[in-house]
Structures are given as C-alpha cells and as structure tokens.
Structure 1
Amino acid sequence: MAERGGQARRGPWLWGVVLLVVLVAWACGRSGDTGNDRTGGATGATGSTRKPEASAHPSRTPTTPTPKPSPSGTNTPSGKYDPAAYAPQVRARAAEADVSPRLLMAILYNESYKPHDPALERAWQRYKPGAAFGIANMHRAAFDETKRGRAFAGRRWEELPDDRDLAVRAAAWYLHDLARQLPPHPSGPYDKDELLGLGYNTGAGNMQAFARGATPGSQAADYLSRLRSNWGKAGRAVARTGGG
C-alpha cells in the first residue's frame, strides 16, 4: 500500500481476523447513518507507500463528496473484484505515467488481499482512520502528494473506493514519482521493478536503502515474494488487452 512513511502493510492474514469486525461496523454504520452520511466519510492519511498522517480531528467524519464519473466508464464497483478486469485502465494509466503496466498490475494483485467493497472500506476506515482506500490501497497523504500538478489534482482521496480508474491512475503516478527517486546505479540485488514494488509498499526512503543493499524486513520481504509470484499472471492480464 502506498504510505507516507516507512511502514510495510500488514499481512493478508490480518483480514481474516478483521473482516468480521468490519462487517459489524458496517452494519452499525448503516443503521445509524442517514442521508449523505451513509456514503461514509474519511479522516486520516496513503499506496503506493508512505506513513499516514494523524487526523487533527480523528473523531469527526466529514461527508464524502459525490464521486466524479471515471473516464473509463468504470465508476461504482460491484461484484467480486478481479484485478485482471481492470487491465484496460492499467495499460492506459501506465502509459500516461510512463511506468510498466505489468508492474502496476502485479501491485494490484498484491493489494487485493482485502475485500475492495466501498461500503466495507469506509466502515473499516471509521474504525481505523489511518486506513487506506481503493484497489491500490492508498493513504490520504500519498494521494494528496501524488496528485499535485496532475490532471486529477481536483479529485479527492475519498473518491478512491468508488472510482477504480482513479485508484489505478494515482498508483501509476506514484510509481512514476518513486522511479525518479531511484539511484542511477543501484548496488543491491533487486531490479528496478522489484525496487519500485518495495517502494510502493514501504516508502521512497526504504526503497533507496534497499537499492544500496539494505535487507528488507519480514513484511517487505513477504510483499516482494508475492510480487514475484504475481508477475506471471500480471503479464498475462495486460497482454490479453494487447500489450504487456
């Protein structure tokens, strides 16, 4: 997940424990909310890899604005989430940001460890204000930093659960920014895509350390292992739409 500091995301096993809590929170939220508040608000801070900043008012839940339609026509998600279904968006946004579509797709597979349902994401975010949003698991701070000066600068982090094209676009540009921070001649054992994947998970500072030969911790190492295991199907997914 894109975070603003150097923390790696929690392992997929955590979601087996918290899903029940999220469902309870979601049910409680639906029974207590009215009008626009039912869409859920978000306080806190991200995906492709930085530590979330604490909210000045963690107990407050601002109203989430109505999401703008996605350029791709994919706006409000429904049904079971499959990263491969978003291959057209991955290819388009990767080309826009000049990053590898295969890497971007592999990251979406890595970040699919939790249920990407807008209502559940917002319910969990109410319980944990620093949680990430969207299919690329991006925190608020990372999204706000990434969008500066870009065509989606007017969009809001709160829209990520509802607009998967926006989530893919933000992740692509986050990878673009990470690539600009890589040392010109890394001395570590990882290639560029592996370093960018680690950077997406742990932040630019840690990515630079790994490029100099530092050893990833257990969570970052697990992220890298899963990225490698997802590499093949990520390539097949983007190739099915005419590229790879």
Structure 2
Amino acid sequence: MQVAKRWSWVVVGALMVGVWAACSDQTTKTGSAPEPQPTATKTTPRATATKPWYENYDPAHFAAEVRKYAKAAGVNPQLLMAILYCESYKPHDPKFERQWAQVDSNPAFGIANMHEAAFDETKRGRDFAKRKWSELPDNPALAIEAAAWHLHDLAKRLPAKRAGLYTKDELLALGYNAGGGNMRIFARGRKAGPQAGTYLDRLHKYWPTAAEALKN
C-alpha cells in the first residue's frame, strides 16, 4: 500500500530473483528423469513438484477469489484486481515478507500489502474476525477478502457530495494507498500529491489488464 517503498522492493526483489533462478536451475539439473530400465514392462509417470503460488506470481491466478470477495463486499472486481496488480511490485514469498518485516517499522503483509492496523479494523464483525494479520503472507485468499472489505469500508466513508475530480473507484484506490482521511480530502476536490498520483497512474495502467484477468 506504500509506493514510497517501491524502489526498495525492486532492489531487494532483484536479489530474490537471482536466488530463485539459481534454485530453479539446480532443480532442473537434479530432477532429470532416470534412464529407462531395459527390463521394465511398463513406466510410471514421474511425479512433478508443484511450484509455490508466489513463484511467477500473477494476480490473474486469483481471479475466482477476486470475483467472489468483490461480490460479497459490494465493490468493483476490476478495482480490486487492479489494486492487486498495483501491489504486485514486491516479492510475495512468505518467508521473505517476514524477514523484511524485521527491518521495516510499518510492514505490509500479503498480496494486497495490508498493514496490521487496517486489517484489524477491517476484520471486526466479519467472517474472518478471528484470523490474524500474520496469516496474510501464507493466505492469498484471506488477503483478497480483507482487501475487498477494506474497500467496502472506505466507500462508506466517502462524502455524499463529491467534487468531480475523481471517480468513485479512483477515490477508493487513493484511499487504499493514502488512507481514508486523505481520500475524503481528494473527494472534496483537492488534487492528489506526487505519491498518491503515482499510485493512481499505476491504477490506470493496470485497469485494462485487470479486466482481462477477470475473464479467466
């Protein structure tokens, strides 16, 4: 949810990519199929390991969950999917997220990059009220559900009368990134600053991508 940390994630993410690439190469070398036995009368298919969801992560892989929870929360599924794309700039390896949290004073967890305070406020009275913020790195579905209801709650905070500078979905995206208080200020006509404006640019960039992803 914080664009200011984007470049830090890009640098660290590049290091992670190198590690993953090395691991992938080693797996290929050691996982080759054995030579066929001349006396064998039949062959047994070699088991193939399923890659973790966070490798080659694409929000489109969770289109079903986005549709489900967006509908339940009464928010635009394209908005929810676009936000997942906006938040996909950092690695989502659960172990890596927890290691990063040890050096970040205000970390965000899960594929929707949600902060603990936002999660704890959002879960009150909901089906996932007993779930913990610390579960988000391991549970993409929970992260999507929480993000959907957070957008629902932000929508409730929009003023009845709004300036025409931003659409409702744009305001909700700005609220997701910059907080509900700033969202209300933007709704009354103030132009978003550089950081929030950059997030909005990313939303526009991913808007058609999100629509395509929801067709899956």
Who is 2:66 aligned against?
Answer: 90
Q: Is the 8 A contact 1:77 1:162 kept in 2?
A: no
**CA displacement, residues 109-135 of structure 1 (integer Å, 9 cap, x when unaligned):** 000010111011011001214210000
Who is 1:102 aligned against?
Answer: 78
- TM-score norm. by structure 1 comes to 0.71
Matched, 1:12 2:6: yes
- Identity of counterpart residues, as a percentage? 56
Matched, 1:237 2:203: no
Matched, 1:217 2:193: yes
From 157, 167, 171, the counterpart of 1:191: 167
Q: CA deviation at 1:22?
A: 8.0
Give the Cα separation in 2 of the matches to 1:90 and 1:127: 31
Taking only aligned residues, the RMSD between alpha carbons, in angstroms, comes to 1.8
Letter in 2 for 1:209: I
Q: CA deviation at 1:236?
A: 1.1
5+ residue gaps, structure 2 = 18-51
From 94, 115, 130, the counterpart of 1:139: 115
1:49-198 to 2 correspondence within 5 Å? 77-198=53-174
Q: CA deviation at 1:20?
A: 7.0
Letter in 2 for 1:136: A
**Equivalenced residues, count:** 182
Letter in 2 for 1:166: L
Q: Is the 8 A contact 1:106 1:231 kept in 2?
A: yes
Change over 3 Å in CA distance of 1:79–1:201 after alignment to 2 = same
Tell me which moved more, 184-193 or 84-93. 184-193
Who is 1:68 aligned against?
Answer: none
Q: CA deviation at 1:87?
A: 0.3
Q: Is the 8 A contact 2:75 2:148 kept in 1?
A: yes
Choose between structure 1 and 2: higher helix proportion. Answer: 2
- TM-score norm. by structure 2 comes to 0.80
